[in-house]
Structure 1
Amino acid sequence: MKRLCLLGLIALSVAFPVLAESRLDDKPAFIEQLLRQMTLQEKIGQLRLISIGADMPRERLAEELAAGNVGGTFNSVTRQDNRPLQDAALRSRLKIPIFFAYDVIHGHRTIFPIGLGLASSWDMQAVATAGRVAAIEASADGLDMTFAPMVDIARDPRWGRTSEGFGEDPYLVSEIARTMVGAYQGKSLRNPDSLMASVKHFALYGAVEGGRDYNVVDMSPLRMHQDYLPPYHAAIEAGAGGVMVALNTINGVPASANRWLLRDLLRKDWGFSGVTISDHGAITELLRHGVAADGREAAKLAIDAGLDMSMADSLYGQHLAELVQAGDVPMQVVDQAVREVLGAKYDLGLFHDPYRRIGQVSEDPPEVNAESRLHRQAARDVARQSLVLLENRNSVLPLDKADRIALVGPLADSHIDMLGSWSAAGVAKQTVTLRQAMQAALGDHGRLVYARGANVTDDEKLVEYLNFLNWDNPEVVQDPRPADQMIAEAVAAARQADVVVAAVGESRGMSHESSSRTSLQLPASQQALLRALKQTGKPLVLVLMNGRPLNLAWAQANADAMLETWFSGTEGGHAIAEVLFGDYNPSGKLPISFPRSVGQIPVYYNHPRLGRPFVEGKPGNYTSQYFDEPNGPLYPFGYGLSYTQFSLSPPRLSTDVLSHGQSLEVSVTLKNTGKRDGATVVQLYIRDLAASVVRPVKELKGFRKVWLKAGEEQQVRFSVGEDELTFVDAQLRQVAEPGVFEVQAGLDSQHVQTQRFELR
């Protein structure tokens, strides 16, 4: 029998005297025996997930835990806070341990770039590093589960939660989903440094109408299966132990009451055997959706649909017992939900040792925010790979450290905004700002002049909104000086300088849950600053900090260089400075298209083919176009520049005829034709020339990040078989139909070279 901590052994011997010796390592038998000992009230308790402090005071929560009325908690992030709650759970009649969960999205104490930034690396090792470090740090704080990864496909950047995810493409997001699940969960969920992944938001949350959070989703089954469901499926295939259910409706039925979604698709078709968890308050929201007349009906709809745990629960606790006793909910339905919750706890090793991640008091860190607990080098390495160079006219970058540099902008010295949204237990003062990093890079002899130049926004209502939950410690702090005075100071600094670096974009709260926008423009205060800086005639470098694609039409036309840095985390300042000064050659590529204006939305590279497509350079009349501005994105999916240059040969195929069950090899030669060492991403796309349903103009089916010395070349190979050619047909079957396919290879999705083959 495996070693148990003392309290775990006591718990097992008292509650499960037989199982403790003979059944603990037999999961099904252990859970079934435990179920038989549980009262209905204790079963319902296991289905309740309670937010510490927000849903009930800590004192009452301890009482509820001791009574066996709570199955898990979230929003507590230290061992000292979690240990007394586990103690309380082990005072309950059956001594069933609880689990502790939190939104660990892109780091825990060490904060890595936001999801869009991680995806911009196109490097699965970098993504895995972020996930593994997050798991190590979070589990060291006593956490068992994370509500991540967030794998919603996002094609409308007005949606604030675009920042959390990995972009617009099913293939890229699926690869990241698999990687993150593996990184969080490690080699075994029982290991003390593992976190159970609870993939979210299931399903289709990124497709809310108008990009407005919590809005409806109405989508054809074909598009659903082809474009939006694959990343969730990839996470399930990778072994994610949990699924968080979305807040939106799907074709008229809320996800949290959607039996087809949770029972037919997730469990029957995909074989998921883990625990499903509602999003915050989602069961109560069934009343506001208008599908439940009262709390009793809402609880019945959710449990019948297959929703195991109720986050921020009140309705399961109030109504499930009555529903079972009245015969309106069969006991076996409740039992199955409880079975999944107990199974998650078993997989986490909590029945073997309830303190597996909490540890002993003697092992607690003396200071939870100690510098020694951070993983700065890993964060810096990953952040550097996440930066995307959008423009670099006349090679204004990298900067010369001998130059006099004017650093301006409201985000140049903002610690809190480096963190980005959902920054877990990250501490703002531990971040490195761009101002700090540039000054450190220049040293004592550096010539850096700083001026704020503008507030993030001068819209008082917007500032009030952004600070709504943080009035005691506001995130957006306004400089009280008049706007023209701040701009004048920045212009004066610019006139003294050889080059101007402007850090502009969004505050982190502008790209967050419930922060949808009708405009993608920079706020007016920052636009005025940039126009004034442009008038000085000095080279203008924009450092963008934002959680979504922005409207950069003016910037593209007027800035000499642009570096997209997203919100780059704890070490973001150093990473950005290294790129600006040329100590690191940028290699990031966009995981999402940048529209020219909000009127183009949605704009994404793999859109369906049309009968009247617009063709660049040809007359646009009676084609699918906007006649009042250029068509296509401002910056396409997969785009990103380097300080060196690369050439890519046309693709070469090992055969031009492919039989079912076989594969062919695609090879290209990548050469670094510039004078600096660097990396780029070779991207492979497939175009199905004729099929039984309308297919996308192209689909990403492979990518390789390659580092080459100046003058070096390398052959890059991809394998293409039926898996890369399958799609969902009109009957929702996965098929690979015979016909001609086009292989496209490029360094972004627009500029490609092609070759064809036939599938017979």
Structure 2
Amino acid sequence: MKKCWIQIIGVCCLLSVSACKQSLPYQNTSLSAEQRAEDLLHRLTLEEKVALMQNSSPAIPRLGIKEYDWWNEALHGVGRAGLATVYPQAIGMAASFNDSLLYKVFDAVSDEARAKSRVFSEQGGLKRYQGLTFWTPNVNIFRDPRWGRGQETYGEDPYLTGCMGMAVVRGLQGPADQKYDKLHACAKHFAVHSGPEWNRHSFDAENIAPRDLWETYLPAFKDLVQKADVKEVMCAYNRFEGEPCCGSNRLLMQILRDEWGYKGIVVSDCGAISDFYAPNTHQTHPDNKHASAGAVLNGTDLECGNEYASLPKAIQDGLIDEKQIDISLKRLLKARFELGEMDARPAWAEIPASVVNSAKHQQLALQMARESIVLLQNKNQLLPLGKNLKVAIVGPNANDSVMQWGNYNGFPAHTTTLLEAVRKVLPENQLIYEEGCDRTSDKALRSLFHECRADNKPGFNATYWNNRRYEGTVAATDRVTTPFHFSSGGATAFAPGVQTADFSACYRSTFSPTRSGKVAFRFQMDGGVALSIDGKEVAQTGNSKNPTAIYTLDAKAGQHYQVEIRFKQLYGDATLNFDLGEEVPLNMTAVVEKVKDADVILFAGGISPTLEGEEMSVTIPGFRGGDRTDIELPAVQRALLQQLHQAGKKIVFINFSGSAMGLLPESTACDAILQAWYPGEAGGTAVADVLFGNYNPAGRLPVTFYESIAQVPDFEDYSMKGRTYRYMQQKPLFPFGHGLSYTEFTYGDAKLSKSIVAKGEKVSLTIPVSNVGQREGEEVVQLYLKRPSDKEGPRYTLRAFKRISIPAGKTESVTIPLTQESFEWFDSATNTVHPLAGAYELLYGGSSDLDKLKSVSITVQ
């Protein structure tokens, strides 16, 4: 009996402890996130607080806090975390001018993200690229076509960028009336940030005119903060008016928090706090403790990096008070409670893992890819093509699936290239395929990567160590199924769990060629590479800035070659690009001869994310650090196009790029031009649907296509004078908002509900739009605002857009409501933007081309 009583008392004690534990306020799910954060904050030691203010936040078992990494990506689909639906790159989705569709895309993305994160959580703490806090969208203004990261934005116009950015945030964060947020989005990079990439750690965006700041660089951020309730804002690498953006009191405290009332988290760009003091950077602070204290005091709550570990020393030295730490940390804890990440039962658990790259999402990727395509030119209505023609597909981007993914991408189950898609439309006897040329070199590499298998599966097995010795505890294993495109730029790991410095990697596969011949092993890298074949080291090199064949194998069909690639980071950012295949010297005469029987040439050209992007090591002529030094099509492609044109061939040029290209020569040599961007997993199908008339294109340019670099001011000049459609005086090659259709639209005379508007009154503009062509099509109705009395501001600026479908022969009346906010304009008397009284013109039509816009006058009192 005594033993039984002891057992009962023991059980009661356990129950009592459990009840006590559950009664702690921060564990009470009925309390608000604010209340729970306040309670938990005061239970933490200073060292624990500081650890939780870094993106890789450790577990604190004594309080039930789980391991969490704040860094995740979803630029155009869940990124860097395995299987996911890959939508067109952001700049392509901007070309849809369809924020409603963009919302659907990111609602689908958030479904995949929640499902994937739940699965990752069941396997342990949430590590990098596994959490619920996504560092997207990028709402910087794409002010210069040379900027490599412009592809990540929604174009050059503040209004369009704000509309698209808000759709992204709402799709990711979910309905506002739910107990838990679906995800958290992040507006980046705040602010006045759009290249150059090569000097971003030391560059100062200075002498910014108040007008440019308030009318161009800040409006999209303000929209996301005040209208979409974005939960995070990321501060930029560069300085603004002398201060690093992540330590800018003007940006983060005065504007963001005080003027806009922002209550959420500010996170640093990765490594940005190190830029406060490290050699060859801003060097505005003497050391890490001063840098960290300065960042926190000026509003940066979370660091992507390791400098905040110095905060206890900064407190000890009197540089900052622990109360300031508490202000920032409370915001971080509140966010984790808002997501339900701290709770035992996962939020949004009803979303099944089967949504990831599901058939429904694949169809959505196809729809968005179709809507993103812009028909720039169509001489003599060559397009759409008949299916009885003999077609030749030429060019380096015809069969490159990786190019279609853009950057910051996930990995789809399958990517349809243009070549694959056309093969589904035409029989083989009507189709000729000839790659023709490389993107930038006079030697094309016909990839044989698909003939590499490891463990009887496609690709290479990868093993990583967090040291340069290829030994000790394995940090990660992975499988690489496409030609290598690795970079640690932007503090991006080669694989989850791998450091961005002081690491090594080994990649192994079996190469089984199906035909004999010389096979080049081509590398471009920052770091050291050793290549072994069948256990024998055959080449060793390092820091090859241009793609170079470091070894050529005399391959025999039917043999199996054991390939091992060892790579180690040496200094600075690490990059590793690798492919193997047959190097084919460009023979233009032979190319022309091979396609001589074709009725039309589909030339799939342009550039790729291996040439433009974030802080890259590319040194090919025309490219620098991820940016471009000019905007022309690479010379080798231009020369081949001219040869095909001189041979009398009809040419459809399909340009794949993340930025505007100088296509003036191509507009002469080619009959039709399509802008395909980096169109995602369904891009090939979407382009083929447009080419053969299964889809009537209606994409519009979210950026100006200039004739040449001569029309663009100096890259490092942040003044908007002469930039974008809003300020340039010359005639561009293709204007902002431009895009053709296979039908024709005309605009009638618009009617205002009232032509004089008093303060607080609403007004609407009704525009009759007629489809006078032979087939149904979509039109993007665009409304611009002009203030004739303002000679210093933008010539005109976008204020509304609407994408509509109109049957052939029908007229639709498009009504656009206008509020006081529609008439916000820069007031030079106060250096502020607000609804400004005066006379305006409303310009409306299907592009920003002034020659094609109609107008109506309105007066605001």
Partner of 1:49: 55
Distance change in 2, residues 1:374/1:289 (3 Å) = farther
Kept in 2, the 8 Å contact 1:494–1:538? The answer is no
Does 2:185 match 1:197? yes
Does 2:603 match 1:474? no
Aligned mate of 2:695, from 568, 571, 584: 584
Kept in 2, the 8 Å contact 1:212–1:516? The answer is no
1:1-44, Cα deviation, whole Å (9 max, x unpaired): xxxxxxxx999967664326757523332222111111111111
- Deviation of the 1:560 alpha carbon: 0.1
For residues 655-674 of structure 1, the aligned pairs below 5 Å read 655-674=754-773
1:474-507, Cα deviation, whole Å (9 max, x unpaired): 36667511112xx344312321111000000002
Does 2:298 match 1:312? no
Aligned mate of 1:449, from 408, 432, 447: 432
Distance, in Å, in 2 between the alignment partners of 1:354 and 1:729 is 52
Partner of 2:510: none
- Deviation of the 1:221 alpha carbon: 2.5
Distance change in 2, residues 1:758/1:357 (3 Å) = closer
RMSD: 3.1
Which secondary structure state, in structure 2, belongs to the residue aligned with residue 268 of structure 1?
A: helix
Partner of 1:101: 71
Does 2:301 match 1:331? no
Does 2:802 match 1:704? yes
Which secondary structure state, in structure 2, belongs to the residue aligned with residue 102 of structure 1?
A: coil
Distance, in Å, in 2 between the alignment partners of 1:663 and 1:20 is 47
1:34-63, Cα deviation, whole Å (9 max, x unpaired): 11111111111110113xxxxxxxxxxxxx
Aligned mate of 2:597, from 474, 486, 496: 496
Which secondary structure state, in structure 2, belongs to the residue aligned with residue 410 of structure 1?
A: coil
Which secondary structure state, in structure 1, belongs to the residue aligned with residue 694 of structure 2?
A: coil
- Deviation of the 1:676 alpha carbon: 1.1
For residues 270-289 of structure 1, the aligned pairs below 5 Å read 270-287=260-277, 288-289=281-282
Distance, in Å, in 1 between the alignment partners of 2:19 and 2:710 is 65
Partner of 1:155: 143
Distance, in Å, in 2 between the alignment partners of 1:624 and 1:131 is 33
Kept in 2, the 8 Å contact 1:651–1:743? The answer is no
Aligned mate of 1:565, from 649, 667, 676: 676
Partner of 2:295: 302
Aligned mate of 2:652, from 527, 532, 541: 541
Kept in 1, the 8 Å contact 2:214–2:832? The answer is no
Distance, in Å, in 2 between the alignment partners of 1:254 and 1:25 is 38
Kept in 2, the 8 Å contact 1:476–1:507? The answer is no
Distance change in 2, residues 1:291/1:12 (3 Å) = farther
Which secondary structure state, in structure 2, belongs to the residue aligned with residue 153 of structure 1?
A: coil
Distance, in Å, in 2 between the alignment partners of 1:117 and 1:12 is 53
Kept in 2, the 8 Å contact 1:608–1:697? The answer is no
Distance, in Å, in 1 between the alignment partners of 2:814 and 2:430 is 43
Query: TM-score, normalised on structure 1?
Result: 0.84
- Deviation of the 1:185 alpha carbon: 0.7
The one-letter code matched in structure 2 to 1:450 is: Y
Partner of 2:375: 389
Distance, in Å, in 1 between the alignment partners of 2:574 and 2:55 is 28
Distance, in Å, in 2 between the alignment partners of 1:725 and 1:476 is 54
The one-letter code matched in structure 2 to 1:227 is: T
- Deviation of the 1:303 alpha carbon: 1.2
Does 2:172 match 1:184? yes
Distance, in Å, in 1 between the alignment partners of 2:390 and 2:17 is 67
For residues 290-689 of structure 1, the aligned pairs below 5 Å read 290-313=283-306, 315-317=307-309, 319-353=310-344, 355-356=346-347, 372=358, 375-423=361-409, 425-427=410-412, 430-442=414-426, 444=427, 447-458=430-441, 464-465=544-545, 474=577, 479-484=582-587, 487-514=588-615, 515-602=626-713, 631-689=730-788
The one-letter code matched in structure 2 to 1:453 is: G
Which secondary structure state, in structure 2, belongs to the residue aligned with residue 670 of structure 1?
A: strand
Distance change in 2, residues 1:20/1:592 (3 Å) = closer
Distance change in 2, residues 1:608/1:451 (3 Å) = closer
Deviates more, 1:250-259 or 1:348-357: 348-357
Which secondary structure state, in structure 2, belongs to the residue aligned with residue 575 of structure 1?
A: helix
Distance change in 2, residues 1:671/1:156 (3 Å) = same
Query: TM-score, normalised on structure 2?
Result: 0.75
Partner of 1:57: none
Partner of 1:53: none
Distance, in Å, in 2 between the alignment partners of 1:186 and 1:359 is 14
Deviates more, 1:411-420 or 1:100-109: 100-109
- Deviation of the 1:678 alpha carbon: 0.3
Which secondary structure state, in structure 1, belongs to the residue aligned with residue 312 of structure 2?
A: helix
Kept in 2, the 8 Å contact 1:190–1:347? The answer is no
Q: How many aligned positions are there?
A: 684
Distance, in Å, in 2 between the alignment partners of 1:434 and 1:577 is 7
1:544-588, Cα deviation, whole Å (9 max, x unpaired): 100100110001111100000000001011011000000000000
Distance, in Å, in 2 between the alignment partners of 1:541 and 1:624 is 29
1:734-757, Cα deviation, whole Å (9 max, x unpaired): 333332111111110112011212
Kept in 2, the 8 Å contact 1:416–1:475? The answer is no
Distance, in Å, in 2 between the alignment partners of 1:650 and 1:130 is 35
Distance change in 2, residues 1:273/1:30 (3 Å) = same
The one-letter code matched in structure 2 to 1:41 is: E
Kept in 1, the 8 Å contact 2:523–2:576? The answer is no
Kept in 1, the 8 Å contact 2:28–2:36? The answer is no
The one-letter code matched in structure 1 to 2:395 is: G
Kept in 1, the 8 Å contact 2:91–2:154? The answer is yes
1:716-744, Cα deviation, whole Å (9 max, x unpaired): 11223321112232323333333211111
The one-letter code matched in structure 2 to 1:278 is: S
Report sequence identity in percent: 29
Q: Which has the larger radius of gyration?
A: 2
Distance, in Å, in 2 between the alignment partners of 1:446 and 1:418 is 27
Distance change in 2, residues 1:23/1:103 (3 Å) = closer
- Deviation of the 1:235 alpha carbon: 1.1
1:614-641, Cα deviation, whole Å (9 max, x unpaired): xxxxxxxxx997xxxxx32111010000
- Deviation of the 1:296 alpha carbon: 1.6
Distance, in Å, in 2 between the alignment partners of 1:164 and 1:244 is 15
Distance, in Å, in 2 between the alignment partners of 1:385 and 1:658 is 36
Distance, in Å, in 2 between the alignment partners of 1:680 and 1:133 is 25
Which secondary structure state, in structure 2, belongs to the residue aligned with residue 755 of structure 1?
A: strand
Kept in 1, the 8 Å contact 2:524–2:576? The answer is no
Does 2:793 match 1:695? yes
Deviates more, 1:659-668 or 1:185-194: 185-194
1:217-266, Cα deviation, whole Å (9 max, x unpaired): 22122211111101111111201111111111111111011122111111
Aligned mate of 1:141, from 102, 106, 116: 116
- Deviation of the 1:351 alpha carbon: 2.4
- Deviation of the 1:375 alpha carbon: 2.0
Which secondary structure state, in structure 2, belongs to the residue aligned with residue 310 of structure 1?
A: coil
The one-letter code matched in structure 2 to 1:742 is: E
Kept in 2, the 8 Å contact 1:162–1:511? The answer is no
Structure with the higher helix share, 1 or 2:
1
The one-letter code matched in structure 1 to 2:763 is: L
Kept in 1, the 8 Å contact 2:248–2:298? The answer is yes
Kept in 1, the 8 Å contact 2:340–2:346? The answer is no
Distance, in Å, in 1 between the alignment partners of 2:235 and 2:737 is 30
- Deviation of the 1:212 alpha carbon: 6.4
Distance, in Å, in 2 between the alignment partners of 1:167 and 1:29 is 40
Distance, in Å, in 1 between the alignment partners of 2:255 and 2:145 is 28
Which secondary structure state, in structure 2, belongs to the residue aligned with residue 312 of structure 1?
A: coil
The one-letter code matched in structure 2 to 1:399 is: L
Contiguous gaps of at least 5 residues in structure 1: 1-8, 51-69, 72-88, 614-622, 626-630
Distance change in 2, residues 1:202/1:476 (3 Å) = farther
Partner of 2:158: 170
The one-letter code matched in structure 2 to 1:105 is: L
Distance change in 2, residues 1:535/1:22 (3 Å) = closer
Deviates more, 1:334-343 or 1:730-739: 730-739
Distance, in Å, in 2 between the alignment partners of 1:244 and 1:252 is 18
Structure with the higher strand share, 1 or 2:
2
Kept in 2, the 8 Å contact 1:12–1:19? The answer is no
Partner of 1:38: 44
Contiguous gaps of at least 5 residues in structure 2: 1-14, 79-83, 118-130, 443-521, 526-543, 548-566, 616-625
